[in-house]
Amino acid sequence: MNECYDITNDDMNDINITESSGNDLPPIGDNQNIAISKLTPELIHRAEVEVNEKENWKERDIQALREIVQNEELLNSQSDDAFLLRYLRARMFDYDKALHLIKQYYYLMANNPELFVPPKQLKCVFDSQTMCVLPKKCRSGEAVYAIRAGRWNPRKFNFDSLVAASIVTLEKAAIDEVVQINGLLCVIDMTDFGWSQLRRFGPSQAKKMVHIIDECLPIRFKAIHIVHESTLADIAFTILKPFLSEELRQKITFHGSDLTQLHQILAPDILPKEFGGQSGAINCEQWFDEIMSSESYLMTNRQNYGYKKVSDFSDIQELQTFENSLFRKSQTCNGYLFDYYKPSRVE
């Protein structure tokens, strides 16, 4: 059995803030940059339809965003073509929105170093078969992010470790240009989700999770499918619901134990047996190996770029919204869950 542990301040040694200044991807070495791929005609068309990308204007758009990012006095951002293109595609080539997303990402990294530990420290999460991006994409071209919420054992690793594993998973997935263009489908299996998980999932955790998914990462969720949900899973969604944007709410579908509709969207031959599929047991260790193949690239961004001084954050007014919580800080929802979530509080 692999020993798992909670992330503490002692694990932060590899995380620095600068003070001065898909699955088929190849391994990325220490000094290897990611080259922008030459898209097929089909992907060029889809990129124009889905993310407002104009092939003839792409270089101009990347350079324009680079100049905007480099004019941010407090921020030392990665600015290679592949990095900037990721954020442009995530925000439909809107320069202002792409810049805001980049700033939110680095702000999150500076304020929450426990969520950006080296991937090797998260092996326990993947060994527990908690999450992975499936090896095959669906028929319409989207990658599939599979989560098994009931596999989270709080005695082995805490909620921040779970979020950190999600962040590195989505960062790795976002390297794939097909994922940048076609987006991501998420499937969440709530089998075995019980009180041990729910009592550690309060408003603070819910808000953090939604904020990261919606505001901090260059990834587009096309749909979220939830299967095998129970009463406790419904309570967890009630905690989550106040923080969801209307757009994100519309993307969520509950399937219960009837997976017929899910299999019309995601063919059983790409799904593991845990999701009623035919591709064998889910293999999160294989996905962890994929992440580790890009560890140097991921850690280079985390260690060498970011906001220059934490003390400057008070001057960045647009990034303060997340800090002003609607709810008091909490480690768990145990003891006051139903005081906060009476029917009148839920739309």
**pLDDT (tens digit per residue) in 271-328:** 999 999 999 999 999 999 999 999 999 999 899 999 976 555 555 555 554 444 333 3
- What mean pLDDT, rounded, does the chain reach? 84
88 or 343, greater pLDDT: 88
Inform me whether the pLDDT recorded for 30 exceeds 50: no
Q: Running DSSP on this structure, what letter comes out for residue 268?
A: G
Instruction: Look at strands 184-189 and 221-227 and give their pairing.
Output: parallel
Using CA atoms, how far residue 166 sits from 159, 171, 179, 224, 318, in Å, is 11, 9, 16, 15, 25
Per-residue confidence at 35, pLDDT binned at 50, 70, 90?
A: confident
Residue 325: per-residue pLDDT: 39
Using CA atoms, how far residue 142 sits from 23, 43, 60, 118, 168, in Å, is 12, 12, 27, 27, 19
Inform me whether the pLDDT recorded for 16 exceeds 90: no
Per-residue confidence at 33, pLDDT binned at 50, 70, 90?
A: low
Residue 110: per-residue pLDDT: 94
Inform me whether the pLDDT recorded for 15 exceeds 70: no
Residue 299: per-residue pLDDT: 93
Residue 34: per-residue pLDDT: 75
Average pLDDT over residues 136-153: 96
Residue 37: per-residue pLDDT: 81
Task: List Cβ neighbours of 310 (8 Å cut-off, separation of 6 or more).
Answer: 17, 110, 111
| Edge-to-edge strand ranges of the sheet holding 184-189 | 131-133, 143-148, 184-189, 221-227, 252-256
Q: By the 8 A CB rule, do 287 and 123 touch?
A: no
Residue 36: per-residue pLDDT: 83
Inform me whether the pLDDT recorded for 8 exceeds 50: no
**pLDDT (tens digit per residue) in 75-125:** 999 999 999 999 999 999 999 999 999 999 999 999 999 999 999 999 999
Average pLDDT over residues 144-171: 96
Q: What percent of the chain has pLDDT over 70?
A: 79
Task: List Cβ neighbours of 97 (8 Å cut-off, separation of 6 or more).
Answer: 91
**pLDDT (tens digit per residue) in 198-224:** 999 999 999 999 999 999 999 999 999
Residue 311: per-residue pLDDT: 53
The CB density around residue 345, as the number of other CB atoms within 10 Å, is: 11
Residue 339: per-residue pLDDT: 34
Residue 316: per-residue pLDDT: 55
Range of weakest confidence among 21-35, 62-76, 255-269, 304-318 = 21-35
Using CA atoms, how far residue 123 sits from 112, 144, 163, 230, 328, in Å, is 19, 20, 13, 28, 32
